[in-house]
Amino acid sequence: MNIGSMCTRLPETTSRLDSVRHAATQMAGQDVGSLIVTDNTGRPEGIVTDRDIVVRCIAEGLGPDDTQVKDVMTDAVTTVLEGASVEDALALMADQELRRLVVVADDGRISGIVTLDDMLSGIVNQADEVGRLLRGQVQV
């Protein structure tokens, strides 16, 4: 199983020039906790989370209408190729202490996002399938 098979396709994106309020409204409307910040070619250049908005904007007393996403986003977005194994992606997340990875195609364009919860759910589903297979092999 590779990351491309368990990532969320067509993740929510925003521009670095959007206001923080716009990003927060988009997150609320789509019921997501993060937006991938993309350049004009569809490649990731950052990520902004609901926590970024709270800690880097609201807690600092900045106005969400006057503050741009670029001022609160995390610039160093960690990506993983969609063909990467789950094990490699989990190792990357553990090494960098991340809860999400932006999934990219070979050309660097975004193809999805995968969270730690997505991977845990995928692993549990795989274990269930293995259990079902083994139960079918048991001699009665």
Q: What are 24-78's pLDDT values in tens digits?
A: 999 999 999 999 999 999 899 999 999 999 999 999 999 999 999 999 999 989 9
pLDDT tens per residue across span 70-117: 999 999 899 999 999 989 999 999 999 999 999 999 999 999 999 988
**Structural domains for the chain:** 3-137 (3.10.580.10)
pLDDT band for 136, please (50, 70, 90 cuts): confident
CA–CA separation, 26 and 14 (whole Å): 9
The alpha carbons of the chain give a radius of gyration, in whole angstroms, of 18
Whole-model pTM? 0.82
Residue 125 has pLDDT above 80, yes or no: no
Residue 124 has pLDDT above 80, yes or no: no
Instruction: Describe the crossing of helices 86-96 and 116-137 by its angle, rounded to 10 degrees.
Output: 140
Q: Using DSSP, state whether 139 is helix, strand or coil.
A: coil
> Does residue 22 contact residue 13 with C-beta atoms inside 8 Å?
no
pLDDT band for 139, please (50, 70, 90 cuts): low
Give pLDDT, residue 140: 54
